[in-house]
Amino acid sequence: MSLPTSLSRCAALLLACGAVPALAADTDSSVMYRCPGNDYKNTISAKEAEKLGCKRIEGAPVTVIQMTKPRPSTATAASGGARVDPVAQRARDTDARRILEGELRAEEEKLAIMQKEFNNGQPERQGDEKNFQKYLDRVSDMRAAIARKQTDIAALQREIKKLPPPLPQ
């Protein structure tokens, strides 16, 4: 290998190495451009960005969030075969009614006991209630507990009313 041949090869190699970064900078995917309409692109060249009126973003981290597939609406889900068997739904409604009615009976029994102890706002004084304020505080707590229990019962009744009527036996 002669000296001029090796020099020409080195020169060619240096030119090629110098050209690669220039080409890479022209289509560098690490460069982000913000185009009109808040459209962000990193797959275009500087010339294409200039034509589109895009501006280069420097030093700002960019997060890309991929969209998920939208869920089908309830109308399309119902028509798409995702319906529940009417017999199975009726069984579920019957079970729900049975459970809610059981809870309602238990809550009504608790309310009756609480009202009996409350004695129309005049419950019996306990031994540790020599201080009248202690007694009044207990009466106030009892009144609030009864009001909460009545609210719970009303909520259970509303839930039962939402269910379809039971089948006649």
CA dihedral 49, 55, 58, 63 (to 10 degrees): -80
Can you give the residue range of the structural domain that contains 38? Answer: 24-59
Segment among 100-104, 117-121, 149-153, 165-169 with least mean pLDDT: 165-169
Looking at the structure, do residues 92 and 158 belong to the same domain, yes or no?
yes
* In-domain check, residue 77: no
* In-domain check, residue 52: yes
Looking at the structure, do residues 108 and 155 belong to the same domain, yes or no?
yes
CB 104 within 8 A of CB 160: yes
Looking at the structure, do residues 149 and 109 belong to the same domain, yes or no?
yes
24-58 confidence digits (pLDDT tens): 444 455 788 888 887 888 888 889 889 989 988 87
Looking at the structure, do residues 101 and 54 belong to the same domain, yes or no?
no
* In-domain check, residue 2: no
CA distance 86 to 40: 50
* In-domain check, residue 153: yes
Q: Is the pLDDT at 19 greater than 90, yes or no?
A: no
* In-domain check, residue 96: yes
Mean pLDDT of 94-111: 96
* In-domain check, residue 104: yes
Task: Count the domains in the chain.
Answer: 2
Phi first, then psi, for residue 162 (nearest 5°) are: -70, -25
Segment among 6-15, 71-80, 159-168 with least mean pLDDT: 6-15
* In-domain check, residue 72: no
CA dihedral 88, 89, 92, 98 (to 10 degrees): -120
* In-domain check, residue 79: no
Looking at the structure, do residues 38 and 107 belong to the same domain, yes or no?
no
Q: DSSP assignment, residue 82?
A: -
pTM (two decimals): 0.49
* Mean per-residue pLDDT of the chain: 80
